[in-house]
C-alpha cells in the first residue's frame, strides 16, 4: 500500500510501510515520518502532481520486462534454428547459440569443414562469419521495420590467424555500426580452446517488408 503525505504546497511524500530505508533527510519532523512510513521519497512539484514508484514496484516491473525479453529471445532462437534446417548452414553443422541485433554467437564443427591439408577451410570460416553477421543484421532490421524485414551480406574481409584441425570453432559478431539501411560487424572466430582463428569485418544491407527485392 502506498501513502501520500503532503507536508507543504508542492511537496509530496510517497511512502510504503513494507520497506525500511533511512530517507529522513535530517529534520526531526521528516525523521518521525520516515520511521512511521519507512520508505519515503520526496520531490518538488511545479504545480503538477507526480508520484515516484517504490523500489518493490520497480523491481517487479523489471523482473516482468526481463522475463518477457528472455521469452522473446528464446522464441527468436527457435525460429532461426528452424529456418536453418535444410540449408548450407545445417550441412556445415552451424548452431545459433545467442542472437541479438548487436551480437550473434554461433558454433560450428571443424571436421566436416576441413580443406585437403586437414585444416578448417577458410571459406567455411567466412561462411560462419557471414551467417552470424546476416542473422544479427536481420534482427536489427526487424527491430526497425517489423516482421518480414531482412538483411543480405554486402562485403566481408577476412584475416586468418591460426589453423584449426578438430573440435569446434565459435564466432562472435559485434556490431560496429547499426544504421537504417546498413549495418557492420566485427566477427571473431575462435577455437574452443580460445585460440583466435580468424577475424572478419562484414557489412550487410537492410531491407524492409515493402522492398520487392533485397538489391545490394
Active site residues: 130
Determine contact, residues 17/1, Cβ cutoff 8 Å.
Answer: yes
* Sign of CA pseudo-dihedral 17, 21, 23, 29: positive
Q: Which residue do the cell numbers 548452414 mark?
A: 89
Separation in Å, CA 144 to CA 88, 138, 178: 28, 10, 10
Q: Which helix (H) or strand (E) holds 105?
A: strand 103-109
Q: Is 141 exposed, middle or buried (0-12, 13-18, 19+ CB in 10 A)?
A: buried
Amino acid at each position: 500500500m502506498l501513502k501520500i503525505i503532503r507536508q507543504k504546497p508542492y511537496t509530496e511524500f510517497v511512502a510504503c510501510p513494507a520497506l525500511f530505508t533511512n530517507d529522513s533527510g535530517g529534520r526531526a519532523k521528516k525523521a518521525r515520518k520516515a520511521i512511521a512510513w519507512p520508505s519515503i521519497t520526496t520531490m518538488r512539484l511545479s504545480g503538477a502532481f507526480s508520484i515516484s514508484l517504490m523500489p518493490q514496484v520497480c523491481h517487479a516491473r523489471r523482473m516482468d520486462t526481463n522475463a518477457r525479453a528472455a521469452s522473446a529471445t528464446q522464441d527468436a532462437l527457435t525460429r532461426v534454428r528452424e529456418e536453418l534446417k535444410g540449408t548450407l548452414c545445417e550441412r556445415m553443422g552451424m548452431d545459433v547459440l545467442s542472437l541479438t541485433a548487436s551480437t550473434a554467437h554461433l558454433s560450428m564443427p571443424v571436421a566436416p569443414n576441413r580443406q585437403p591439408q586437414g585444416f578448417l577451410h577458410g571459406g567455411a570460416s567466412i561462411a560462419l562469419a557471414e551467417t552470424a553477421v546476416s542473422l544479427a543484421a536481420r534482427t536489427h532490421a526487424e527491430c526497425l521495420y517489423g516482421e518480414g524485414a531482412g538483411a543480405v551480406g554486402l562485403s566481408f574481409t577476412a584475416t586468418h590467424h591460426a589453423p584449426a584441425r578438430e573440435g569446434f570453432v565459435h564466432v562472435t559478431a559485434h556490431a560496429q555500426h547499426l544504421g537504417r539501411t546498413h549495418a557492420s560487424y566485427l566477427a571473431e572466430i575462435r577455437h574452443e580452446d580460445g585460440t583466435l582463428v580468424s577475424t572478419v569485418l562484414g557489412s550487410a544491407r537492410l531491407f524492409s517488408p515493402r522492398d520487392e527485392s533485397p538489391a545490394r
